[in-house]
Copies of this chain bind each other. A is one copy, B any other.
Amino acid sequence: MNDVPVLHYDVDHEGDVSQLVYTFGGVEARASVKPGSILDTSSLDCFAGKVRSVHDHVSTVCDPRFLNPQTGPFFVEGAIPGDVLAVHFASIEPRSTLGFSTTVPLFGALTANGFTQMLHQPLPEMTWVYGIDKENRTVRYEARESSAVYRLPLDPMHGTVGVAPALNEARSALTPGDWGGNMDTPEMRAGVTCYLGVNVEGALFSFGDGHARQGEGETCGVAVETSMDTVMVIDLIKGVSPVLWPRLESDTEIMTTGSTKPLEDAFRISQVQMVQWVAQLTGLSIMDSYQFVSQTSLAPIANVVDTNYTVIAKIRKDFLPDVHPMNGVHRRLREMGQAYLATRR
């Protein structure tokens, strides 16, 4: 491991939140990273640390311009449009023993909101505080309107991972799309590699929005939000088919994503991407791949609350023996990540 470059990138967790980054695109790179590097860094929670107790309401303590701060963007050396950026999450660990979830007025899947506009008054604004027990790998739910307590598995992940969009757009870190962004899928956990199509020179990768856990759909709009220490392995893949929408790979599954509205279009995008990927990996015709995917793909919803909705398509790799997605980069990055983590212990 002596020759693997490591970028330690410090984030100021107590600083002026207006200095942080809240868009994909439209901001200058904060650091540069070589392909094949370890990136050892951290992220603030989506509230930029402003929610600290059940008495803190988002509408009171947060400035809407400064929600969901991102770490980055990182200029990936040599990245040009058409390349594929590989981001392997080696480790995602809560920095704190507390996580926070809230309702936010006119935000969420089961309430009138800024796009599904209605004449209702907002639901009550409330905050829940979760205890995070890293030892026992649990988070502790505590009801606000009774004394009920439940313990749930800790399952850390990043809600927001992406690059600068195409067409000179700058998109809020609250939005997911073909550049990645706020996809809010619980699949974005340690052990997974995320593939992102590069739209601009240097890719301009950033990430944030750590969740100690979330349900699929992120129904109330807010997961168990917490700051994270995160180790990634960053690489660049040249000469593969362009990745039009973000993809993921774990040891056991390949996944595609679609992020748009309505939700059926997000499903369609994820499935068409998967049909094309399976065809390319196996040599199946498009119609044969359509049939194969129809019988094998899982379709977990990621989010139905953000400005675009996200759906995942997921196929077990053991259904597809002898295929090597993205030239086998996942296994290689996974090993690099494990080796780096071993040196840190």
Q: Which residues in B have their C-beta under 8 angstroms from that of A224?
A: 295
Tell whether, in the assembled complex, residue B304 and residue A301 are in contact, meaning their CB atoms are under 8 Å apart: no
Per-residue B-contact encoding for A18-57, CB less than 8 Å = 1, 0 else: 0000110110000000000000000000000000000000
Cβ of A58 to closest chain B Cβ, rounded Å: 14
A171 to B120, CA, bound (A): 30
A268 to B117, CA, bound (A): 6
Tell whether, in the assembled complex, residue B170 and residue A169 are in contact, meaning their CB atoms are under 8 Å apart: yes
Q: Which residues in B have their C-beta under 8 angstroms from that of A320?
A: 150
A143 at interface by CB-CB < 8 Å: yes
Q: Which residues in B have their C-beta under 8 angstroms from that of A144?
A: 285, 287-288, 291
Which of the listed residues A219, A272, A298 has the most CB atoms from chain B within 10 Å of its own CB? A219
A280 at interface by CB-CB < 8 Å: no
Report the nearest B residue to A289, measured CB to CB. B143
Tell whether, in the assembled complex, residue A297 and residue B216 are in contact, meaning their CB atoms are under 8 Å apart: yes
Cβ of A229 to closest chain B Cβ, rounded Å: 21
Chain A interface residue count, CB cutoff 8 Å, equals 89
Tell whether, in the assembled complex, residue A146 and residue B288 are in contact, meaning their CB atoms are under 8 Å apart: yes
- Residue of B101, B116, B119, B288 near A123 (CB, 8 A) is B119
Tell whether, in the assembled complex, residue A284 and residue B148 are in contact, meaning their CB atoms are under 8 Å apart: yes
Q: Which residues in B have their C-beta under 8 angstroms from that of A119?
A: 110-111, 123, 272, 275, 286-287, 290
Report the nearest B residue to A315, measured CB to CB. B215
Q: Which residues in B have their C-beta under 8 angstroms from that of A220?
A: 290-291, 294
Cβ of A31 to closest chain B Cβ, rounded Å: 20
Tell whether, in the assembled complex, residue B263 and residue A143 are in contact, meaning their CB atoms are under 8 Å apart: no
Of residues 136 to 161 in A, which have CB atoms within 8 Å of B's CB atoms? 139, 141, 143-146, 148, 150, 152
Interface residues of A (CB under 8 A from B): 22-23, 25-26, 64-65, 101, 103, 109-112, 115-121, 123-124, 126, 128, 139, 141, 143-146, 148, 150, 152, 167-172, 174, 213-224, 258, 260-265, 267-269, 271-273, 275, 282-288, 290-301, 304, 309, 311, 319-320
* Beyond A120-B120, A143-B292, 12 extra complex contacts between A and B, CB < 8 Å: A22-B167, A22-B168, A101-B295, A112-B120, A126-B287, A145-B287, A167-B172, A169-B170, A214-B295, A220-B291, A267-B301, A299-B304
Closest 8 CB pairs of A and B: A216-B299, A263-B263, A145-B285, A299-B301, A220-B294, A262-B262, A170-B170, A117-B272
